[in-house]
Amino acid sequence: MILTSDPDFWRAQLGRPVLERLGVAPAEVLAYVASVNASQQINQQASQQGSQQSDPALVASPEAVVLAADFLADVQDAMAEMPPSLLKLLARPLLGVYFARGLGSSALTDVVMAPDGQQLGVVCLMDTDAFLHRAANDWATWKEYTPFLPQEQYRIDVVIETPDNDNRKNAIQFILLHEFGHVLNANSEYLPDWWIGSKRFKSTEEYSYLSLAWQIAMSGDVIPLLRNDFPQRKHLRFYTGDQLPGELIPEIYQDLQKTSFPTLYAATNVYDDFADGFASYVHEVIQQRPFEICIRQGEQTIMELRDYWSGPKAKTRASVFAGIFADA
C-alpha cells in the first residue's frame, strides 16, 4: 500500500483516458518500492538475469526512466490492442502504468491511499530493463526459467506468440494483462484485499476465486487445498530469491499438471493465481493466442503443456473470468 502525499495528482490521472495514463514513475512510488525491496532483500541482479542466488548486498534500487519513443509506442499499442471491455473495466480503478528500472521484478501493482485513508485506485509499475531486448517468446521463456538454477540437462521453451507476432509489444501486453488482473481483484469478492492484513480476512467460502484452489488457515495464511499442493511448490520463487536445482524441472511440471493451476507462476500464491490465470485466459480464450510450454532433455521433448483452458480443470476459473467480462 502506497500512502501518497499528493492525492490530487492521482485523482487527476483518473480524469485522463486509460490509454494516456502512462509516465515516469513518481518519486513517492519509487521510494515505496525501495523500502519494500530493502525489507525483503530483493536482488536486482537476479531480477535482470534470472540466474543468481539472492545476495543481500545487491538489493534492487529503483530508478525513474524516461521512455524512448519506440518503447512508449509499444506500450501504447499493447494496451490499445487489448479487448475494449477490459479497458472499460480498468477506467475506474487504474491510476496508470509507470516506468522504472531496478524494481526487483518485471512489474508490480499496488493500491494508493490518501492521507485521510481514502483509497484512490491501483497503480502498476513496469521495469523497462526486463523488456528492452526481449520479444514475447524470449521474455516468457526467461521468466519461466527464473525459479531454477542454471543447468545443461533440461531446457524450457515457452511460446506465447506465433512467429509473425513474436515481438516486444506482445511481451509487454502479456505482463500488463497479469498486472491488470491484480488491478481487477482489488476491492472484489474474488480474493481478500492484500493490503488489509490477514486478521481482517473473511472465511474461505466468502471469496469466490480463492475457494477454488486455496483456503484460509487458522493462522490467517492462505494455503493451497491439499489436492493443489506439491512438494516444491512453496519453494518456487519467480524473478528473485533462492532458486531450485534445475534437475527438478520435470518433477515440478509433472506435479503442476496434477493440480488445477493454469501456470507454474499461478501456483506460487493466490494473488498470482488470479493474475496469471486472468492473463492467460484473456490471451488464450479471448485473443485466441498460443500458450505452450515444452520441456526438453537434450533434443528430446519429454513434456508439453498446452490447451489448459479447453480442459475440465479450467471450467470453474473460466466461469469466474467470463463473469468479469459479462459485467463490463
Closest CA to 19 of 106, 103, 96: 96
Mean pLDDT for all residues in the chain: 92
Helix (H, G, I), strand (E, B) or coil at 42: coil
| pLDDT number for residue 47 | 41
Residue owning grid cell 513434456: 303
Q: If pLDDT is split at 50, 70 and 90, which confidence band does 46 have?
A: very low
Each residue of 283-309: pLDDT tens digit?
999 999 999 999 999 999 999 999 999
Each residue of 228-239: pLDDT tens digit?
999 999 999 998
Closest CA to 182 of 93, 79, 77, 282: 93
Cell numbers placing 323: 463473469
Contact 109, 84 (CB under 8 A): no
Each residue of 4-41: pLDDT tens digit?
999 999 999 999 999 999 999 999 999 999 888 887 76
| pLDDT number for residue 102 | 87
Judged on CB neighbours under 10 Å (0-12, 13-18, 19+), 306 is middle
How would you classify the pairing of strands 119-127 and 107-113?
A: antiparallel
Each residue of 126-180: pLDDT tens digit?
999 989 899 999 999 999 999 999 999 999 999 999 999 999 999 999 999 999 9
Question: Is residue 304 within a helix (H) or strand (E), and if so which, with residue range?
Answer: strand 300-305
In this predicted structure, the answer to whether residue 187 has a pLDDT above a threshold of 70 is yes
| pLDDT number for residue 321 | 98
In this predicted structure, the answer to whether residue 57 has a pLDDT above a threshold of 60 is no
| pLDDT number for residue 41 | 63
| pLDDT number for residue 140 | 97
pTM of structure: 0.93
Closest CA to 65 of 18, 15, 107, 93: 107
| pLDDT number for residue 283 | 98
Query: How many percent of the chain have pLDDT more than 90?
Result: 85
Each residue of 199-214: pLDDT tens digit?
999 999 999 999 999 9
Contact 136, 171 (CB under 8 A): yes
Contact 100, 25 (CB under 8 A): yes
> DSSP character for 265?
G
Residues 6+ apart with CB under 8 A from 68: none
Each residue of 302-321: pLDDT tens digit?
999 999 999 999 999 999 99
